[in-house]
Amino acid sequence: MKAEIKRLVPAALCVALLPFVMGLLGAHPRHRKEVKIPDILGYKTLKCDFHIHTVFSDGSVWPNVRSEEAWREGLDAIAITDHVEHQPHKEDLTTLHDRSFEIAKPHGDRLNIVVIRGAELTRDMPPGHLNAIFLEKVEDVDKETWREAVQAASSQGAFIFYNHPAFKWQQPDGVARWYPEHTELVEAGMLHGIEVVNARDYYPKAHRWCLDKKLTMLSNSDIHRPLNLDYHIQQGDHRPLTLVFATDSGVGAIKEALLERRTAVYSGDLLIGEERFLRPIFEKSISIRTPSVIVQGTGGAYVQITNTSEITYRLVKVGSPLDLKLPERVHLQANATTILSIKGLRSDVEETRQLEIPFVVENLKIEPERAMLVHLAFEVSFRPREVGVPHGR
């Protein structure tokens, strides 16, 4: 009898506490984190993830949760891309290839999140896994051969991209490879982009292929588990994002921008993309708050630089200006103002100079082996040191 009571007490306690716990959950505020990357070149900078899984393939999340996660993390658009051929939950859920999109979209609409219909074509290498997005009906791409599946997606006007080219289940050595089958697809107009980043993996070869073959760069989470299990959002972590530079936030504008290769990759603190996009992002993020300073003799001065983006830019000095000492490395902290400390090297100079100091921003990659060069411009008025006046720091 006592044993029965011991078993019943925890259960009764749980039942008694359930309304209290549910009340706490219901009262939990819902917050959206805004991703602070500026609009550029007359386009909106949209934050997107085009590779997402749910319980309707091998994910562990109900589809409408994906829309909620996207809203909370500050995204503008997602694509639901459950596997067509890989259905490990088919004993628990009926295989309905369009159902995950149909569940996710209404919640996305309520939150003003664009939800795009897509699918992952899950085939052996070559050509490997391909995502097709902007589909009209996923069911119609469930074909016997990969060529038939890609053709069916293409006939629906899909944007198709090559997923995780160094995926170790298909490339055990972890080396990304380009196959004749990929060339075949590009030449047929049925392959438009490549994942340069998948989850936390950056593929330099894919970056180079995009540049050389004029393909769109993408960066996606390939998320399977609940987002917070893979990304520590509360600590400032974030999923990889494809930045899309679109005329507006509608589905048509997103597709047009992807086809025109107006994207950049945002992963960790890395921005990867063509200079035509990365340079205006940097320039719109940075402003010199003290554009004119005075250096007296071998004393010092502070140049204040404000960064309004959420990316901390890591700068490395290239060369040294005449008569002036600067730090070798400068981190322009995200959402903050950073001091660039400069120091005179001579006591007898008296003139005013307009300086443009060159730095390489090592986390802005315009090629796999090349970071972007920028210049910090400000005016320095050199003054001879007055006798008896202490040097500045």
Closest CA to 75 of 254, 205, 256: 254
Radius of gyration for the chain, computed over Cα atoms and rounded to the nearest angstrom: 26
State the pLDDT at residue 93: 85
Cβ neighbors of 67 (< 8 A, separation 6 or more) are 78, 104, 105, 107, 108, 111, 113, 115
Domain 30-273 has CATH 3.40.50.970: no
User: Whole-angstrom Cα distance, residue 193 to residue 210?
Assistant: 7
Strand partners, 114: 77
Preceding amide of 180 cis, omega within 30: no
Burial of 23 (0-12, 13-18, 19+ CB in 10 A): exposed
Q: What angle do CA 280, 305, 352 make, to 5 degrees?
A: 100
In angstroms, the first-to-last Cα distance of the chain is: 80
Q: How many CB atoms lie within 10 A of CB 143?
A: 16
* Cβ–Cβ < 8 Å for 43, 246: yes
* Cβ–Cβ < 8 Å for 281, 366: no
Question: In terms of DSSP H, where are the helices of the chain?
Answer: 2-27, 63-73, 99-111, 146-155, 180-187, 204-213, 227-230, 251-259, 275-285
* Cβ–Cβ < 8 Å for 380, 342: yes
Q: SS3 of 157, please? A: coil
State the pLDDT at residue 16: 41
Domain ranges of the chain: 30-273, 285-383
Find tokens 């569940």 and name the residue. 103
State the pLDDT at residue 390: 55
Preceding amide of 127 cis, omega within 30: yes
Strand partners, 118: 133
Q: SS3 of 181, please? A: helix
User: Whole-angstrom Cα distance, residue 110 to residue 378?
Assistant: 47
Domain 285-383 has CATH 3.30.70.1230: no
How much of the chain is helix, strand and coil, in % rounded to 5? Answer: 30, 35, 40
State the pLDDT at residue 115: 98
CA 117 to chain centre: 20
pLDDT tens digits in sequence order for the chain, 393 residues long = 444 434 434 444 333 444 443 443 444 578 999 999 999 999 999 999 999 999 999 999 999 999 999 999 999 999 999 999 988 888 888 889 999 999 999 999 999 999 999 999 999 999 999 999 999 999 999 999 999 999 999 999 999 999 999 998 889 999 999 999 999 999 999 999 999 999 999 999 999 999 999 999 999 999 999 999 999 988 889 999 999 999 999 999 999 999 999 999 999 999 999 999 999 999 999 999 999 999 999 999 999 999 999 999 999 999 888 999 999 999 999 999 999 999 999 999 999 999 999 999 999 999 999 999 999 999 999 999 765 555 544
